[in-house]
A and B are shown apart, each in its own frame.
Chain A
Amino acid sequence: MTRTRTGPEPVAVEAPRGRAGLADREGFLAWAMLLPSVVYIIALVGIPFLLAIAFAFSDVTTGDPSFDWVGFQNFDAVFGDGVFWRALRNTLIFTLVSMVLIVLFGKILANILVADFRGKWFVRFLVLLPWTTPVALSTISWLWFLDSIYSPADWVLRHLGLIDGNVVWLGKPGTAMASVIAVQTWRLTPLAAVIVMAGLVAIPRDIDEAARIDGAGFWRRMFEVTIPLTLPVIAVAGLFGAIMTFTDMTVPYVLTRGGPTHSTDVLASWAYFRGIEGGDVGQGAAIALFLFPLLLAGAIAILRAVRRLEGQ
């Protein structure tokens, strides 16, 4: 309180106005208005987070919720299970490939969406669908699209004479992983596009016009003006995509349930299968905890990109 600008004296000065009091003291107001959110977040994010760490060192199960310290036993069990390593590798592939594709398509989509053309409103509506639809539902649509017998993709390929019978997209490790990545990319690309759009809109018009007058063509302007100027925003879009993919379990859960034979299990889904469906909360928590170090790295990277954005 001692260093704040509006201490007791300014209140006394304002007193003649007749409305001074707590509602005018900035130092008090600033805390009072922020406090509910902070308390709420500490109670339902901070404490559960600590609890998650504690669970990883305990023998809590859904059947026996009593807490007993077991040290690194859960981690030993998790490491000893080949599925964990498989899930870890899958998570990394899933995240990296999706992120690259999301950034690439998001950038292209953003450029389309800022252009002027007729029917733009309708195109924007269709483009937003993948992102605004509840993930579980749009994944159901894909589940049917990739059906083992009635997939229209198969029908087209069959009629083009490229395949006999069916591909069975979700039944083979390679195509199952490709499908999961494709759905994730499809669903997050609009979000990346919206973020990149925010960056494109913020570029001052005169810079683009100056480049035009200097005779720079579309591609030159794209690579020498637009992309360097929007790089921080593109980075933010990419990191958002990466974090949301890294921690996502919905697409693998609904599309493949981690199969066939764990080939699309990711850390988040494996934690769910272990912790909720298997009932072993301790092991589930230990698996989920592995999301944290990489998540932290991603968050710090976002922070840096945003700082650079502010520096502009």
Chain B
Amino acid sequence: MSTDVVALRRRYARRHVAARCGVYAAAVLAALVCALPFLWSVISAFKQNQDLYDPESNPFFFNKPATPDHITFLFTDTPFLTFVVNTLIVGAAVVAITLVLALPAAYSLARLDRPWGTPMGIAIFMVYLVPPSLLFLSLTRVVVALHLEDTLWSMIVVYPTITVPVSVWLLIGFLKAVPKDVEEQAMVDGYSRLGAFVRTVLPLVFPGIVAVVVFSFTLTSSEFVYALAFVSASPEMVVSTGVPTQLVRGDVFFWQSLQASTVITAVPIAFLFNLFLDRFVTGFTMGAVKT
């Protein structure tokens, strides 16, 4: 009988080990598939021209010594830094506008129970699904009419149409998770409804606000269609349009510098996003599930 138990235990142990190996193999495979082009970008960015432009040389290793020349070139001889600064300016402004518009709207929909709360929330969410490709032609005319073409302002004014709806949706989830007693207590203590929102609820949803900031910034930095349609002057371009249009001269691609610019942009955003991934995941479920 004891041998049975031992055999069973061994079988379970084997199964456990197999399951662990499976998880690790799957995780490594997933990471490789997702990161492969970037991995290759990192290697390419440091290659010498003779090494890069030789179809016979192994593309995954340095066949000639690595060189930082192309990265220096990116910063000194191309407007890449201007694009980065522009992206940060547009991103910061859009995030600020988004919070100013979305926080009160989300509070109104989540807490001040009006009969039109739910349909209005759904209507705002639906706006998120209206794509730039449907609106860019008419918005370009609007931008021209406002004399904002070829300026960062065109993007600052228009981008919140993308970020506000999704931020309202996420914030509703976070606001619903705050217990109602908190506000009631604050109101008993003499704050007005508005005061209770500002002084007690806002600090409590701070994690949600951070998640919305990161998410809005990510959306803003990836936007392409509007940026391409509104701005055609290089000094006012952002990374997402500047790199693919300005770092290519005719048919000449500065491949190493292009690859470097991709990696330099990609890594910080993914890093930030990863920090707040859990909050984003819970925010999404709360907005959808809790009523």
Q: Footprint of B on A, CB under 8 Å?
A: 3-4, 17-21, 23-27, 29-34, 36-38, 40-41, 44-45, 47-49, 51-52, 55, 60, 65, 108-109, 112, 115, 117, 119-130, 132-142, 144-145, 149-150, 152, 155, 166, 186, 189-190, 194-195, 197-199, 201-202, 218, 233, 236, 243-244, 247-250, 253-254, 267-268, 271-272, 275-276, 281, 284-285, 288-289, 291-292, 295, 298-299, 302-303, 306, 309-310, 312
Contacts and interface: CB of A to CB of B under 8 A. Distances in A.
A198 to B, nearest CB: 4
B99 to A, nearest CB: 11
Contacts of B41: 141, 144
Given A134-B239, A250-B224, A292-B134, A37 B190 contact: no
Contacts of B138: 48-49, 51-52, 55, 285
A123 B30 contact: yes
Contacts of B11: none
A136 B243 contact: yes
Nearest to B242: A136
A133 B262 contact: yes
B52 A130 contact: no
Contact of B160 (A40, A189, A288, A302): A40
Given A128-B274, A268-B133, A299 B126 contact: yes
Contact of A133 (B26, B101, B141, B265): B265
B174 to A, nearest CB: 14
9 nearest CB pairs, A to B: A247-B131, A33-B104, A268-B133, A51-B138, A152-B59, A30-B112, A23-B192, A133-B266, A23-B194
Nearest to A165: B55
A146 to B, nearest CB: 10
Given A40-B160, A135-B224, A310-B291, A26 B193 contact: yes
A276 B140 contact: yes
B101 to A, nearest CB: 5
Contact of B40 (A21, A145, A218, A295): A145
B262 A125 contact: no
Nearest to B140: A276
Interface in B81-138: 100-102, 104-105, 107-109, 112, 114-115, 117, 120, 122, 124, 126-127, 129-138
A129 B285 contact: no
B136 A272 contact: yes
Nearest to B291: A310
Interface in B152-179: 157-158, 160-161, 164-165, 168
Given A30-B114, A141-B37, A141-B38, A127 B244 contact: no
B194 A128 contact: no
At the interface, is chain B mostly helix, strand, loop or mixed?
helix
A284 B229 CA distance: 13
Interface residues of B, number: 104
Nearest to B54: A150
25 contacts: A21-B192, A23-B192, A23-B193, A29-B112, A41-B127, A44-B157, A49-B134, A125-B271, A125-B274, A126-B35, A132-B266, A132-B269, A140-B258, A141-B38, A141-B40, A141-B259, A144-B253, A150-B55, A272-B229, A276-B229, A285-B138, A288-B134, A295-B134, A298-B129, A299-B129
Contacts of B120: 34
Interface stretch (B66-74, B204-212, B275-283): B275-283
B224 A136 contact: yes
Given A44-B158, A115-B23, A309 B288 contact: yes
B62 interface: no
B241 interface: yes
Given A123-B31, A128-B277, A186-B34, A149 B271 contact: no
Interface SS of chain A = helix
Contacts of B222: 132-136
Given A49-B134, A112-B23, A129 B262 contact: no
B240 interface: yes
Nearest to A303: B122
B104 A34 contact: yes
A312 B290 CA distance: 10
A19 B190 contact: yes
B24 A198 contact: no
B31 A127 contact: yes
Given A48-B139, A133-B262, A155-B58, A144 B281 contact: no
